[in-house]
Amino acid sequence: MSTSHSLWYKDAIFYEVSPRAFKDANGDGMGDFQGLTEKLDYIADLGVNCIWLLPMYPSPLRDDGYDIADYYNIHPQLGNLDDFKTFIAEAKKRNLRVIADLVLNHTSDQHMWFQEARKGPDNPYHDYYVWSDDIQKYSGARIIFTDTERSNWTWDESAKRFYWHRFFSHQPDLNFDNPKVHEEMYKVFRFWMDLGLDGFRADAVPYLYEREGTNCENLPETHDFLKQLRAYMDEHYPEAILLGEANQWPEDVLPYFGDGDGDEFHMSFHFPIMPRLYMGIRQEDRGSLEWIINRTPAIPANCQWAIFLRNHDELTLEMVTEEERAFMVREYAPNPRMMCNVGIRRRLFPLVENDRRQAELLHGLLLSLPGSPVLYYGDEIGMGDNIYLPDRFGVRTPMQWNDNRNAGFSNAKPSQLYVPVIDDPGPYHYQSVNVEAAQENQTSFYNWLVNLIEHRERFKAFGRGDITFLHPANRKIFTYLRRYENEVVLVVANLSRSPQPVELDLSEYQGYQVMEMTSNVPFPVVGAASYQLSMSPYSFFWFYLVKP
Ligand code: GLC
């Protein structure tokens, strides 16, 4: 294990961006690296520290690039390797790090390896994939893309066998029992790291191996492979990070941080906390949030959770109980079009019915709970979605820059765009929701968020501190201390639509001065009695406590 790491990721805010969706520089209707490079100042000005790039490789784009046809190039519509190198160099100039998606589990069926593999068992590539003559094999594995797939096996007419896939049937799983597959993946890893990446977001990691009699998730063999990859990273790229995507319960994610000494992933997404943030504000109760955080085991000191409100996928409801799922669907997906697989394909602002207070509250929590926040492009300006687009494209529409044609995203004909911009009449139309308008308006959500991010930067407690819940009698108030070295940060949030009183037990801090963080306004000194606050609907405070 490397001990020299600066642990930059523990204090970082990540910004997830689709190079297809951000800015089209060549007018072909799809974003590209040249466009993304032009917009780096915008990203830097947000105050984020690391960009997470969605897959940029050549691909038939049947899973928005997660179906890779060639690991060693840039999708031609996104540019070429030189454009990519320029992008990395320009990002570095602005102190922005960049991690990219690494898809280990599967390829596109268009990948040369699969095309060869299909020729039959004698082909040297056949064993790159997982084949069977019997579809009863690995029957313990669940189906993930329940909207489109009926089985994890698909018949291949050419090979005359079934091949294994955990996602779309056009995404055959690689066979990690084949050492050649490991070699190939190390090569891919080196290729991109040597181009200057700061690490990877490793896609769909629970599914690398299959074993009979298991659910084929989180297997020991999978961890062995990932640990070796990590050791390799530590040796050759000591400042880089691996961020794992394992949509699992916290206790099942724990092993992805290694065996107690943090020798596997530096970071893993915390999936189950996300739906509970949305649940909290509709139930007006802190219970499920406290429950999931209390259930989250401690992780090694050099590791970090990645937390998020939304991303490029559906708002997944896999990590909730049946009852909670029904509640979420009732509250947040009243129209069946809003559902996709086991989740909800809507963006943040539509989910909260465009209520600025709820959006602020959710960000106030996201940016102060344990972990490094990952923001999703467009949410910072309150972008809407389009539930009538297929699959998850409704939350992947073009970034809205201004009120010009195509929201300033592209000079192409509107009909040429990879998906249409949001232009339904109403609150989300790009003529009102766009970067230019958000920047001009001093009181916009965007400017509010940029300001909040600046304040978060002042306190290491946000990224590195522990968390202690206060338990005021009023359960509509979610409140906690984040402490790190000499810093004491107090967060108080009202999950309710109505004003709420709260009495906090801060006896431990008697005599401390309570300071509101974003304004430096002094609040009363903590006395012997309980500390009383009045909270307006969906409001929150970030305080820091100063020793007398
Ligand atoms: C991950 C991605 C998702 C993709 C899937 C298959 O879950 O987030 O977008 O469809 O992997 O690659």
Is residue 204 lining ligand 1, measured as CB closer than 6 Å? yes
Selected catalytic residue, list 245, 313, 360, 391: 245
Q: Count the helix, strand and coil residues of the chain and give each as a percent rounded to the nearest 5.
A: 30, 20, 50
* Residues 430-445: tens digit of each pLDDT: 999 999 999 999 999 9
* Residues 314-334: tens digit of each pLDDT: 999 999 999 999 999 999 999
- Given a cut of 80, whether residue 410 has pLDDT beyond it is yes
Per-residue model confidence (pLDDT) at position 3: 56
Measured in Å, residue 279 CA sits from the centre of ligand 1 at 24
Selected catalytic residue, list 63, 149, 173, 203: 203
- Given a cut of 80, whether residue 4 has pLDDT beyond it is no
Amino acid at 226: L
Is residue 168 lining ligand 1, measured as CB closer than 6 Å? no
* Residues 463-493: tens digit of each pLDDT: 999 999 999 999 999 999 999 999 999 999 9
Burial class (CB in 10 A: 0-12, 13-18, 19+), 328: buried
- Given a cut of 90, whether residue 1 has pLDDT beyond it is no
Q: Which DSSP string do the residues of 453-492 spell out, in sequence order?
A: HHHHHT-THHHH-EEEE---S-TTEEEEEEEETTEEEEEE
Of 167, 168, 308, 310, the residue with max ligand 1 atoms within 8 A of its CB, to mutate for a pocket test, comes to: 167
**Could you tell me the pLDDT band of residue 188, with boundaries at 50, 70 and 90?**
very high
CB atoms within 10 A of CB 353: 10
Q: How far apart are CA 488 and CA 459, in angstroms?
A: 9
* Residues 205-248: tens digit of each pLDDT: 999 999 999 999 999 999 999 999 999 999 999 999 999 999 99
Compute and round to an integer the Cα radius of gyration of the chain.
24
Relative to the CA of 166, which ligand 1 atom is closest?
Answer: 6
Q: How far apart are CA 76 and CA 533, in angstroms?
A: 57
Q: What is the pTM of this model?
A: 0.97
Measured in Å, residue 64 CA sits from the centre of ligand 1 at 9
Which regions of 118-245 does DSSP assign to beta strands (E)? 131-132, 153-156, 161-164, 199-203, 241-244
Is residue 101 lining ligand 1, measured as CB closer than 6 Å? no
Q: How far apart are CA 176 and CA 106, in angstroms?
A: 10
**Could you tell me the pLDDT band of residue 261, with boundaries at 50, 70 and 90?**
confident
Residue 55 CB contacts under 8 Å (≥ 6 apart), including other chains: 64, 65, 66, 68, 100, 101, 103, 203
Per-residue model confidence (pLDDT) at position 260: 78
Q: Is 104 helix (H, G, I), strand (E, B) or coil?
A: coil
* Residues 442-461: tens digit of each pLDDT: 999 999 999 999 999 999 99
Q: How far apart are CA 318 and CA 238, in angstroms?
A: 34
Q: How confident is the prediction for the chain on average, in pLDDT?
A: 97
Is residue 173 lining ligand 1, measured as CB closer than 6 Å? no
Is residue 313 lining ligand 1, measured as CB closer than 6 Å? yes
Residue 245 falls in the annotated catalytic set: yes
- Closest Cα to atom 2 of ligand 1: 203
* Residues 275-289: tens digit of each pLDDT: 999 999 999 999 999
Per the CB < 8 A criterion, the answer to whether 153 and 163 are in contact is yes
- Closest Cα to atom 7 of ligand 1: 204
* Residues 506-532: tens digit of each pLDDT: 999 999 999 999 999 999 999 999 999
* Residues 9-22: tens digit of each pLDDT: 999 999 999 999 99
Per the CB < 8 A criterion, the answer to whether 162 and 155 are in contact is yes
- Given a cut of 80, whether residue 174 has pLDDT beyond it is yes
Is residue 66 lining ligand 1, measured as CB closer than 6 Å? yes
